[in-house]
Amino acid sequence: MAVQPTIHDHLGRAKPAGHAARPSDRQALRVTVVGAGYVGAVSAVVLAHLGHRVTCVERDAPRLERWRDGEDPLKEPGLAELLKEVRIRFVGDASDIAFADVIVVAVGTPMGDDGRPDLSQVDDAAIQIGSLAREGAVVLMRSTVPVGTCDRLQNGPLRHQRVVSNPEFLREGRAVHDALFPDRIVVGGPQEARDLVERLYGRIIKGENLFGGDGTAPRVVPVVWMSPRSAELAKYAANGFLATKLSFVNEIANLAQAIGADAGAVLGSMGLDPRIGPQYLHPGLGWGGSCFPKDTRALQAIADGAGYDFVVLRAAIDQNTRQLSRFANAVKRALPAQSRVGLLGLAFKAGTPDIRESPAIALAGLLIQSGLRVSAYDPAVRALPADLGVMVHSAVVEACAGADAVVVATEWPEFADMDLEAVRAVTRGDLLFDGRDLISPNRAVAAGFRYQGLASLGE
């Protein structure tokens, strides 16, 4: 498995995280975080690291047990190390909310059956908080919620508290880093909450060197205050824009192929323009994950609700569905029914075991539907629900043994470096489909594969 660098490696720290100076007791706040998933657990650990007194409530008993055992079920780089250095109470019971200055809402907002966010976890949490929290406590909404949700809760179950929209922008696989060193802190809420929010994030905002080492230079983090509605939209706008950027990049790569241009050269040159920037310029078989699909659909619903036809977003979502089908069709065309595919990658991206809305899993589904068989390997995913019909192995060569084609679906660095001769030695067929443009075509050909990257798929 490709070892992810630890938080210390990411940040180039000389000293362990625990060497940070603690804020004075006057600044320390009592914080209860509701939900111990990516956003909740990472917020809890980072806020405890900043010196606040943190309790984290999780209602899923197996997940709670793992946190209590000091394990990180999310496998986020640096999180297990920080967890050892801070004091957090992980609890199943919400009663600590009664003593909190700040309650952080970090529960899930998955896509509902109609494509809109399912707000049942947020609504349940709000009722619980409303019944327990003291008057004037700040309720920080870190979950991604539709525009108007904070106002609705402020006028409903949380009428005695101060509801503040504070969207989270962390990336899975970089969650601790992003939480400690955010690009910006977006806050939407009443002025009376300002002091408390600034105390909560004080050391991050001031760009204090949180590790006392000689790593990245301190940087003051902009805090952008706005209305709750604007803060809610700011989150969806950011994710909608990034997803659209990726869809556009995939279109350029497809077009480059159609007209005989080199997509890598085109996109590489675009990235040198500071107005465009080099990130999110890599073509792939489509975007996925726990956020982009649901947040783009939610943004679309927000626009629909306002009677606004968000043409660009609609096209970006549509392009993404086509991108995956295009890739799946190329694999299907090349293989007779009953052929077996060795699928490399199941996580929605490298650096995380998260398979929510993973394009790799969606691809496996399309291939299986068309009569192909799929065996898979992912460095971070050890098992899948049986009904998906994918056999998960514990090594690349096991997943590819006897396969008629190898398909790379997640951009894990270890796939870029894998021993292609050893893989080719165990496969039956010689096709290698690279859905992430990760593998050197020359190396693949030298190892005896017929290489098909995104630039050579055909329509």
Ligand X SMILES: NC(=O)c1ccc[n+]([C@@H]2O[C@H](COP(=O)([O-])OP(=O)(O)OC[C@H]3O[C@@H](n4cnc5c(N)ncnc54)[C@H](O)[C@@H]3O)[C@@H](O)[C@H]2O)c1
Catalytic residues: 291
The two three-digit tokens of residue 300, written as one number: 């679309």
Q: Are strands 431-434 and 405-408 parallel, antiparallel or unpaired?
A: parallel
Distance CA 102, CA 142 (A): 12
Residue 72 or 168 having the CB closest to ligand X: 168
Identify the bridge partners of residue 408 per DSSP, sorted by sequence position.
344, 434
Residue 291 sits in the site that holds ligand X (CB under 6 A) = yes
Site for ligand X in 17-36 (CB under 6 A): 34-36
First to last CA, the chain: 34
What is the Cβ-side half-sphere exposure of residue 288, based on CA atoms within 13 angstroms? 25
Q: For ligand X, which residue of 11, 79, 106, 457 counts as binding (CB under 6 A)? A: 106
Smallest distance from the beta carbon of 42 to ligand X, in angstroms?
8
| Main-chain phi, psi angles of 450, to 5 degrees | -95, 115
Residue 107 or 335 having the CB closest to ligand X: 107
Distance CA 183, CA 356 (A): 25
Residue 290 sits in the site that holds ligand X (CB under 6 A) = yes
Identify the bridge partners of residue 373 per DSSP, sorted by sequence position.
340
What is the Cβ-side half-sphere exposure of residue 307, based on CA atoms within 13 angstroms? 0
Smallest distance from the beta carbon of 278 to ligand X, in angstroms?
21
Closest chain position to ligand X (CB): 37
Q: Considering CB under 6 A, how many residues would be counted as binding ligand X? A: 27
Residue 234 sits in the site that holds ligand X (CB under 6 A) = no
Please say whether the dihedral angle defined by the alpha carbons of residues 233, 235, 236 and 242, taken in this order, is positive or negative: positive
Per-position b or e across 302-333, b if 16+ CB within 10 A of its CB: bbeeeeeebeebeebbebbeebbbbbbbbbbe
Q: Are strands 88-91 and 340-344 parallel, antiparallel or unpaired?
A: unpaired
Using the contact rule CB under 6 A, the part of the chain among 15-23, 104-112, 206-214, 426-434 near ligand X is 104-112
Site for ligand X in 343-402 (CB under 6 A): none
Per-position b or e across 111-133, b if 16+ CB within 10 A of its CB: beeeebbebebbbebbebbbebb
Site for ligand X in 36-65 (CB under 6 A): 36-40, 57-60, 63
Smallest distance from the beta carbon of 372 to ligand X, in angstroms?
31
Residue 302 or 341 having the CB closest to ligand X: 302
Smallest distance from the beta carbon of 370 to ligand X, in angstroms?
31
Residue 34 or 330 having the CB closest to ligand X: 34
What is the Cβ-side half-sphere exposure of residue 338, based on CA atoms within 13 angstroms? 0
Using the contact rule CB under 6 A, the part of the chain among 24-32, 101-109, 377-385, 409-417 near ligand X is 101-109
Smallest distance from the beta carbon of 63 to ligand X, in angstroms?
5
Residue 77 or 453 having the CB closest to ligand X: 77
Q: For ligand X, which residue of 6, 32, 121, 250 counts as binding (CB under 6 A)? A: 121
Is there a contact between 5 and 13 (Cβ–Cβ < 8 Å)?
no
Distance CA 240, CA 147 (A): 14
Residue 78 or 108 having the CB closest to ligand X: 108
Contact mark string toward ligand X, 143..162, x via CB under 6 A: xx------------------
What is the Cβ-side half-sphere exposure of residue 49, based on CA atoms within 13 angstroms? 30
Using the contact rule CB under 6 A, the part of the chain among 47-55, 165-173, 314-322, 379-387 near ligand X is 165-173
Helix (H, G, I), strand (E, B) or coil at 258: helix
Is there a contact between 139 and 161 (Cβ–Cβ < 8 Å)?
yes
Smallest distance from the beta carbon of 29 to ligand X, in angstroms?
20
Residue 121 or 154 having the CB closest to ligand X: 121
* Count of beta carbons in the 10 Å neighbourhood of residue 100: 24
Using the contact rule CB under 6 A, the part of the chain among 2-10, 119-127, 278-286, 339-347 near ligand X is 119-127
Q: For ligand X, which residue of 124, 198, 304, 430 counts as binding (CB under 6 A)? A: 124
What is the binding site for ligand X (CB under 6 A)? 34-40, 57-60, 63, 106-109, 121, 124-125, 128, 143-144, 168, 170, 172, 290-291
